[in-house]
Amino acid sequence: MRYFASEIAMIEPADAVLADIEKRYLACPDCPPEPDLDKTRGWRDLPERIERCPSCGRAALDAVMLDALHVLHEFGLRDERDTLRSVGSPLVAVGYPLAYPPRLGREELIIQGQNISQKAAQAMVERISEIRGIILSQGVPGMHKAGEKPQENLLLAGSDLRADVCQSLFGELVIYKHQSKIHIEFSRQNAPKMRIIEQLMLKRRACRVVDGLCGPGTLGLMCALAGAREVVLNDAWLPAVQDVLLNLKANQELLGIEEIEYPEESSEPVGAAPVLAGRASGAIDIEVYHGDLARLFQRAEPADLCLIDHFPGMDTGEMREACRCCKEVVVL
């Protein structure tokens, strides 16, 4: 698959990420104290610059956001009253619950914000080494309603590929996503949906699971880690399916996957008839489809458990009807 081949070099295997996660954003012994800038102060009352650590070269998050604010001011996009918060939302390259402010190395931060031009974004990526990419926020990305055009944010410069560490009783996975096309879910230890998955899988380990609106694959792949016999992941939004394929590769060792195939390729942004985009085998069998959930079971076999993780406000009646061939349907 051309897409997969071009992206695979950008991801770290999940086992390597998890082995280093506790110290990934730690300050070194020589790092200066946290600058702890006042987030209510305007640009004119803030320092010109906060230096990086002379030993490890890493930067406090406030230092990176301050540099970004200065660039936005230079391009006339922020005035003297604008604060650090006006820059946008900082997203670390690998998200997991942090008890301390992160210290950042090269290309370890993505910023998602508003009122940012492409020229300013390009300047930030070129001048501020810690910034990986800049995203212009235009709403919550993804398919909110069937038949409507999907929402996506705009990658202005750099790369928007980042990951989250997802935790459960069964272990951890690293889920990569192109953040301009997939909605943000901040990593936390007590994620409600993960608690539901734990309860479901504790009752039925060696079962067949369908994750009908899978996004980047978080819930379905966690079922695989929990001991599901077979997992089917499906989404109508092509960027989500492409991220699932990255996550099969990233978590290959953790899931006991021996071989990954890409039988069919789809280029349509929104899928209709199901296309078998990926298939993994080994300790577990996994199929990845790009298509409308209402038509998934024209090709995929029914499951013991079918998960429907939908956007708030979506009508799930048609989805439930499409999945009634499965033994149990759970709407999250």
What are the boundaries of each domain within the chain?
19-158, 190-331
Query: How far apart (Å, rounded) are the C-alpha atoms in residues 170 and 242?
Result: 25
Please say if the pLDDT value at position 6 is more than 80.
Answer: no
Instruction: Note the pLDDT tens digit of each residue in 213-266.
Output: 999 999 999 999 999 999 999 999 999 999 999 999 999 999 999 999 999 998
Q: Could you tell me where the beta strands, DSSP code E, fall in the chain?
A: 59-60, 89-92, 94-95, 103-104, 109-113, 131-136, 154-158, 161-168, 171-178, 208-211, 230-235, 257-261, 275-282, 285-290, 305-308, 328-331
Residue 151, amino acid:
Q
HSE-CB for 203 with a 13 A CA cutoff: 8
The pLDDT value recorded for residue 146 is 67
Q: What predicted TM-score, i.e. pTM, was given to this entire model?
A: 0.94
Report DSSP state, residue 237.
B
Please say if the pLDDT value at position 2 is more than 60.
Answer: no
Give the contacts of 30 (CB within 8 A, at least 6 positions apart).
53, 54, 55, 56
Please say if the pLDDT value at position 319 is more than 60.
Answer: yes
HSE-CB for 325 with a 13 A CA cutoff: 14
HEC profile for 98-148? CCCCCEECCCCEEEEECCCCHHHHHHHHHHCCCEEEEEECCCCCECCCCCC
The pLDDT value recorded for residue 8 is 75
Instruction: Note the pLDDT tens digit of each residue in 100-133.
Output: 999 999 999 999 999 999 999 999 999 999 999 9
The share of the chain scoring above pLDDT 90, in percent, equals: 84
Instruction: Note the pLDDT tens digit of each residue in 147-190.
Output: 678 889 999 999 999 999 999 999 999 999 999 999 888 766 67
Instruction: Return the CATH fold of 190-331.
Output: Rossmann fold (3.40.50)
Instruction: Note the pLDDT tens digit of each residue in 286-304.
Output: 999 999 999 999 999 999 9
Instruction: Note the pLDDT tens digit of each residue in 252-283.
Output: 999 999 999 999 998 899 999 999 999 999 99
The pLDDT value recorded for residue 10 is 78
Query: How far apart (Å, rounded) are the C-alpha atoms in residues 232 and 307?
Result: 10
pLDDT, the chain, mean: 93
Closest to 202 measured CA to CA, from 169, 172, 173, 231: 169
Cα–Cα distances in angstroms (integers) from residue 302 to residues 213, 306, 326, in the given order: 15, 8, 5
Q: Indicate the pairing of strand 208-211 with strand 94-95.
A: unpaired
